[in-house]
Amino acid sequence: MGAQSTAGVSLDGEKKTLHLRSTAEDSQRIRHLVQWLFVALNGLLGVQFVLWVRYFERGGGVLYVSRPAGAEGWLPIAGLMNFKYFLLTGRVPSIHPAAMFLFITFLMMSLLLKKAFCSWLCPVGTLSEYLWKLGRRIFKRNLRLPRWADIPMRGLKYLLLGLFVFVIGVMSAEALESFMSTPYGLIADVKMLNFFRNMGQTATVVLALLSFGSLLIQNFWCRYLCP
């Protein structure tokens, strides 16, 4: 009886372990699918936005497509500024309003579901994840910074966040509206596009270093620099 009971407990424990492992694997498959669907969505938004900008750059005469509001998801600073403006005035800003709504959505998702946005939806997070996995395949391991370096490095993203919050936090509603109405504020989305279309040497070197760091260290960008 004792042997049978022990065997029963062992089998039951094994079944539970296999079930938990299967559930975890299914969850990861769903997460990876959602990640790449969101990457594809951002790619489609990017193509649509490029076509929209090209139409005006060439003075018409080429394919016209409507401007995709979802492209403003890449304007987190504008989203933060518009959110501050909304809190002060109760009015939805007329310039880049989608940036504010997307910013609020991502913020609430992060507050309620912790790192769900970073690990499920963020295209940069997806790229970062696959870079460190590629690095592990190439170098057989990922580096881990010693504790004395890791802790100060993790503080960098909070310094960046604090800088943005401080600068925007001291701005009045009038100052926010005035800034968003400047030529730069009006075409902040086009400026963002041109950053990648006309990338300078410094930006190329910085992105290359960030990519290499992500190969060596797991979630390098997300862990140390993303505010």
Q: What is the pLDDT of residues 113-158, one digit of tens each?
A: 988 899 999 999 999 999 999 999 999 999 999 999 999 999 999 9
Q: Give Rg (Cα) of the chain.
A: 23
Phi, psi of 226 (to 5 degrees): -75, 115
Alpha carbons 12 and 188: distance in angstroms, whole number:
59
More reliable by pLDDT, 50 or 5: 50
Contact at 8 Å (CB) between 126 and 196? no
| Average pLDDT estimate for 152-174 | 94
Q: What is the pLDDT of residues 184-207, one digit of tens each?
A: 999 999 999 999 999 999 999 999
Percent of the chain residues past pLDDT 90, beyond the cut: 81
- How buried is 100 (Cβ within 10 angstroms: 0-12 exposed, 13-18 middle, 19+ buried)? buried
Residue 73 DSSP one-character state: G
First to last CA, the chain: 60
pLDDT for 208 beyond 70: yes
- Residue carrying structure tokens 């410094």: 202
